[in-house]
């Protein structure tokens, strides 16, 4: 019987067991979790950059593809790497006490419509084909 280590091990890559997959994602360090933050590009951006997906970033304009807020469009307000969630302006839920809170969404459920190109590293990544 092979046991998975308690700490994150970069050499361990895959398993058919969902519990090991969840454990890998949960214990991954932030520089690895950044790679889980990919969102699909819209058809126009796919043609322009020749890429299917890219990591979402604060300032990107996105369309929600799944869930309660499907087809709503907004700008990414905040990214939470630890929880692997994105928060979008205008996508809020109302709590019982009446306060509004941003609704966390998975980046895989977002379609990027407009990219925030302030970061020079991101521009280099998009330039590569």
What mean pLDDT do residues 20-49 have?
Answer: 91
How many CB atoms within 10 Å of residue 116? 15
Going from N- to C-terminal start, the domains of the chain cover 38-127
Tokens 């979008």 locate to: 88
* pLDDT digits 0-9 by tens, 66-102: 999 999 999 999 999 999 999 999 999 999 999 999 9
Is residue 60 within 8 Å of 78, Cβ to Cβ? no
What mean pLDDT do residues 14-32 have?
Answer: 88
Q: Which residues contact 92 (CB under 8 A, 6 or more apart)?
A: 100, 101, 102, 103
What pTM was computed for the model?
Answer: 0.85
Return the CATH architecture of domain 38-127: Roll (2.30)
String of DSSP letters for 50-91: --SEEE--TT-EEEE-SSTTTT-EEEEEEEETTTTEEEEEEE
């Amino acid at each position: 019987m092979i046991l998975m280590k308690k700490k994150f091990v970069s050499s361990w890559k895959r398993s058919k067991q969902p519990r090991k997959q969840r454990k890998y994602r949960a214990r991954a360090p932030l520089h690895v979790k950044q790679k889980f933050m990919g969102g699909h590009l819209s058809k126009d951006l796919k043609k322009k950059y020749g890429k299917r997906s890219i990591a979402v970033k604060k300032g990107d304009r996105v369309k929600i593809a799944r869930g309660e807020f499907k087809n709503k469009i907004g700008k990414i307000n905040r990214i939470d790497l630890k929880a692997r969630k994105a928060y979008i302006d205008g996508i809020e839920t109302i709590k019982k006490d009446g306060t509004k809170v941003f609704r966390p969404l998975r980046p895989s459920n977002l379609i990027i419509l407009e990219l925030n190109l302030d970061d020079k590293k991101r521009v280099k990544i998009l330039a590569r084909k």
